[in-house]
Structure 1
Amino acid sequence: MTQTPGPGEARTRQRQRRQMIYVGVAALIGGAIGFLTGFFDRGDGSLFTGDWEALSLDPAIAVVVSIAIVAGLLALPLYGFTQVDELKREYNLIAFTGGCLATITGFPVWAVLYAGGFVPAPHAFGVFAIAFVSMMVSYPIARIVR
């Protein structure tokens, strides 16, 4: 005799399936950004290693990649907030706040250390990396502490 899953199990499976689709869409957007940037780059630069001064893209490709970046780094996460439960949403908001605070604090500290001759000059990729890494670190801390 097979048992029919209860409503809670069915809802959990639906949520997990939606989460896998969400991760798949994010991976596709990221892959498209990387492919378009790498394949159509006419220079020797890289969007992700910090030497974007040497990056040279056709204007149409630049617009497409920009739209994909906005979709992947702004629209998709905002949409994701509407799809998760309250607890995960709270953890995500704490992680985003941690990333924002680290960036707001990290840039002036970096600039002062640069002025003192301790580190190289601040650059955009470094500020992005501060935000990204600190969000990734803030999320598990929020889960552990909460």
Structure 2
Amino acid sequence: MIWKPKTSLGPGEARSRERNIRQWLYIGLAAVIGGVIGIATGFFDQGDGNLFAGDWENLKLPPALAIGVAVLLLAGFVVLPLSGFRMIDDYKREQNYIAFTGGCVAVLAGYPVWAVLHAGGWTPPPHAFGVFALAYVAMLLSFLYARWRL
């Protein structure tokens, strides 16, 4: 008997392949949204602001562009992840819930700790980018923990 490669996928394999394709499309869409935000902000900035250096008060954007960038930020940080939760399997959804919870807990605990350490003279004052970075890193670490431990 000659071995033949399997040409048709079973129903579970087909659903997995569709989910993986959809996941890569979501990642691609998020990258496009981030690229548009970065290019628009960098190209149309009328001031000397730098979001990563913490001097966002010097960032000056045209009002219409600011609204457009805000809409894209909401789409990329709120709408895309929440709509993606209904399209992934239960196991990945649980990992993502753990990651989001880890990021939220890090901000809820991290900001007061940071404020107290600032009051004691140990750290600079809390700022928006630091809180965002705290949430982002905690979310990433929580996801990796959930992925490796569950």
Same fold, judged at TM 0.5 (above): yes
The TM-score bracket by the shorter chain reads over 0.9
For 1:109, the equivalent position in structure 2 comes to 113
Q: Check the 8 A contact 1:103/1:127 in 2, yes or no.
A: yes
- Of 79, 91, 96, the residue aligned with 1:75 is 79
Correspondence 1:28 to 2:32 = yes
Q: Secondary structure at the match of 2:126?
A: coil
| Identity across matched positions, percent | 58
Correspondence 1:53 to 2:57 = yes
- Of 17, 40, 56, the residue aligned with 2:21 is 17
Q: Secondary structure at the match of 1:121?
A: coil
Determine which structure has more spread, i.e. the larger CA radius of gyration. 2
Task: Compute the TM-score of the two structures, normalised by the length of structure 1.
Answer: 0.95
For 1:44, the equivalent position in structure 2 comes to 48
- The amino acid of 2:93's aligned partner reads R
Correspondence 1:90 to 2:91 = no
* Cα displacement (A) at 1:49: 3.4
How much is the aligned-residue C-alpha RMSD, in angstroms? Answer: 1.2
Q: How many residues align?
A: 146
For 1:145, the equivalent position in structure 2 comes to 149
Alpha-carbon distance in structure 1 between the residues aligned to 2:79 and 2:62: 24
CA 1:22–1:87 in structure 2 vs 1: closer, same or farther (change >3 Å)?
same
In the alignment, structure 1 segments of 5+ residues that lack a partner are: none
- The amino acid of 2:26's aligned partner reads Y
Q: Check the 8 A contact 1:103/1:130 in 2, yes or no.
A: yes
Alpha-carbon distance in structure 1 between the residues aligned to 2:53 and 2:149: 33
In the alignment, structure 2 segments of 5+ residues that lack a partner are: none
- The amino acid of 2:145's aligned partner reads I
- The amino acid of 1:11's aligned partner reads R
* Cα displacement (A) at 1:48: 3.7
